[in-house]
Amino acid sequence: MNTTSEIAILILNGFNEYREMFQSIAWEAKDCFQQSQWKTLQEISSRRIDLYGAKVSEVAVTINATKTLTGSGQTLSRITLSWWL
């Protein structure tokens, strides 16, 4: 497998994990809304908003580790990641 394919798989896996976590948080938010738990709902909403940036950062770290292990020596900079966030 070449490095490009490995990176694509890491990104896809990260997206799938993000989607599952987002869905789980959304179900939790629905339950809180139905039970009028407004404070908890606000906390859940914040967690859901922060999830995307956290997941992108996590995937970037994994990609950088993979690239370092493969010897490319290149890493994803914060500037490169800024368009994801």
Q: Please check whether residue 29 is in contact with residue 37, taking contact to mean a CB–CB distance below 8 angstroms.
A: no
Count of structural domains, the chain: 1
Selected residue with higher pLDDT from 84 and 48 = 48
Tell me which of 16-20, 50-54, 61-65 is least confident. Answer: 61-65
- pTM equals 0.71
Q: Is 20's pLDDT higher than 90?
A: yes
Domain span holding position 48: 3-82
